[in-house]
Amino acid sequence: MVLINGKTGDKISIQDRGLQYGDGVFETIAHRNNKAEFLEQHLSRLIEGCKVLSIAFEQIETLREELERVFQSLEDQTAVIKIIITRGTGRRGYFSDNTEIPTRIISSHPFPSHPEQYQTEGVLLRFCEQTLSTNSRLASIKHLNRLEQVLARNEWDDPDIPEGIMSDDEDNIIEGTMSNIFIVEEGKLFTPVVTRAGIAGVMRAQVIQLATRSGLSVQERTITRRQLAEAEEVFVCNSIIGIWPVYAISNKMYPVGFITQFLQKALAECDK
Amino acid sequence: MVLINGKTGDKISIQDRGLQYGDGVFETIAHRNNKAEFLEQHLSRLIEGCKVLSIAFEQIETLREELERVFQSLEDQTAVIKIIITRGTGRRGYFSDNTEIPTRIISSHPFPSHPEQYQTEGVLLRFCEQTLSTNSRLASIKHLNRLEQVLARNEWDDPDIPEGIMSDDEDNIIEGTMSNIFIVEEGKLFTPVVTRAGIAGVMRAQVIQLATRSGLSVQERTITRRQLAEAEEVFVCNSIIGIWPVYAISNKMYPVGFITQFLQKALAECDK
């Protein structure tokens, strides 16, 4: 099912600034067990992203009603729900007089079928050549300018490598093409800062919260390639895949460690 | 008139990767005096952009025929023609198996009505706070990820300031939000390199060619804010506006100089 500004249909105007300039934000939400997981956190980030882009999105209650309609329509209750908010349809040119009404797009998609052992035995990652450019204003939010991720993800087509790691121009580790990354060093958790590049994932925030509540030390900081190589455990996470242990990056092997497994269990048991 | 893959209509699928990720390129062409100006140069850049993004765009002859249909339809022969090529409609996710057929969108728009004195007396510019991030692979091409330009252009709404100057993170001058910039120093022309950030504009290339043919020295190099401040002449250019002399940037004044006027005349007289 696709709802565009509350109406069923799967087409938008070519004048929409979402197409013209990537002028908008999006969220990807797991709908499982009759529940849209971490819905409030996703909606909060969506609103935060609109604020950063000065998109006058005031239709949050309408969006909630539309989401409810899409949730009700799901035959199989397991689905990926994608929300896109664009600045709306405007005249040609970068300038917006902010009279546009933001476009709301909600679509449901089949849940991706990843092998079960990704959760238990972990995944094999690779390094991407495509870097993430730094932009303090656009960092953290989940906007529609995703060419860097597209180019990075299309550097390989080996189906046994489900994710690649992206760095900034200074070779600091930032994230996966579709996930955030955590490492364990001397029993402590670290994840890259995403204030200059990268996305502040909803699952990333959940992992930080779960770890903190469990008394684990978690710190956001710069992570170099060397620190990644020397890590005791590595995992990646997002709202759809949850937490995937990393068993190898290229030919460097990692164990599926205690802290990763602990967090997977905590995530499985937490209130979503 | 709007043609999408050869059919009239103004809507595209929300699954189009142009909307989902800004996964495509565009061109903005001046149609005047019964002619699409610098059409071959625009099409060359479009094809080059597709190559950089690995978009398998092989429908160039079809695109030419569709362009001809749009040109024929123009009631007022003066129009802005915009072409968008996206990677096409795909499944959710950054990965593309390159089986998508690229989407071709051609639209015609009214020519913007700028005051006549912009050509003769010049324009007032400002500096934008929003910087351009550096990305060697994406630099130069005219892709659909334009949030930086959108944010920069929306820093002001004074209608008397038609353009703003954008810098990279090291405070080097790169371009305007919608134009390229040239300066004159000791009678020689300079324009910023656009291999790390910025767009290699079709009009920028024409200006370089016209200047070179006339025996003027033209060089692409790094231009600092100080060098801009000390320039003898400054102008901005793009395919729609042609060449606009700059009479002031914030409160720094410039003359409408001899070389700028010479190039305006050469442009007016050249074979477009």
CATH number of B2-110: 3.30.470.10
Contact flag A19-B12 (C-beta cutoff 8 Å): yes
SS3 A30: strand
Cα–Cα dist B162/A96, whole Å: 13
**The pLDDT of residue A76 is above 80:** no
Sign of the alpha-carbon dihedral angle for B193, B199, B200, B203: negative
Contact flag B19-A12 (C-beta cutoff 8 Å): yes
Pairing of strands A252-253, B2-4: unpaired
The ipTM estimated for the assembled molecules is 0.96
Report, as an integer, the average pLDDT of B164-169. Answer: 97
Domain boundaries, given as residue ranges, for chain B: 2-110, 117-269
Report the residue of chain B nearest A96, measured CA to CA: B154
The predicted structure's pLDDT at residue B90: 83
A61 neighbors A226 (Cβ within 8 angstroms): no
Torsion angles phi and psi, residue A79, rounded to 5: -155, 160
The predicted structure's pLDDT at residue A75: 80
* Topology classification of domain B117-269: D-amino Acid Aminotransferase; Chain A, domain 2 (3.20.10)
Contact flag A144-B112 (C-beta cutoff 8 Å): no
Quick one: angle between helices A202-213 and A39-52, nearest 10?
120
* B104 chain-A contacts, CB cut-off 8 A: none
Cα–Cα dist B5/A196, whole Å: 38
Report, as an integer, the average pLDDT of B178-188. Answer: 97
Cα–Cα dist A234/A228, whole Å: 8
Q: What is the mean pLDDT of chain B?
A: 96
Residue B210's pLDDT band (boundaries 50, 70, 90)?
very high
| pTM of the predicted structure, to 2 decimals | 0.97
Chain B interface test: which of A8, A19, A153 (most B C-beta within 10 Å): A19
Report, as an integer, the average pLDDT of B10-16. Answer: 96
Of B44-53, B76-85, B175-184, B236-245, the one with minimum mean pLDDT is B76-85
- Report pLDDT digits (tens) over B53-111: 999 999 999 999 999 999 999 977 899 999 999 999 988 899 998 889 999 999 999 99
Q: Where are the alpha helices (DSSP H) in B13-100?
A: 17-21, 39-52, 60-73
- Report pLDDT digits (tens) over A151-160: 999 999 999 9
The predicted structure's pLDDT at residue A38: 98
Question: Residue holding tokens 């005047």?
Answer: B32
Non-local CB neighbours of B1 within 8 Å, separated by 6+ positions: B8, B69, B70, B73, B74, B106, B107, B108
The 3-state DSSP composition of chain A as helix, strand, coil percent (nearest 5) reads 25, 35, 40
Residue B243's pLDDT band (boundaries 50, 70, 90)?
very high
Q: Does B56 touch chain A (CB under 8 A)?
A: no
- Report pLDDT digits (tens) over A107-146: 999 999 999 999 999 999 999 999 999 998 999 999 999 9
> CB-based burial of residue B137 (10 Å sphere; 0-12 exposed, 13-18 middle, 19+ buried)?
middle
- Report pLDDT digits (tens) over A5-38: 999 999 999 999 999 999 999 999 999 999 999 9
| Buried/exposed code over B77-90 (b: 16+ C-beta within 10 A; e: otherwise) | eebbbbbbbbbbbb
The predicted structure's pLDDT at residue A253: 98
- Report pLDDT digits (tens) over A249-269: 999 999 999 999 999 999 999
Torsion angles phi and psi, residue B238, rounded to 5: -155, 180
Q: Does A70 touch chain B (CB under 8 A)?
A: no
SS3 B218: strand
Q: For residues B213, B215, B217 and B220, what is the CA-based torsion angle, rounded to 10 degrees?
A: 0
Chain B interface test: which of A26, A133, A240 (most B C-beta within 10 Å): A133
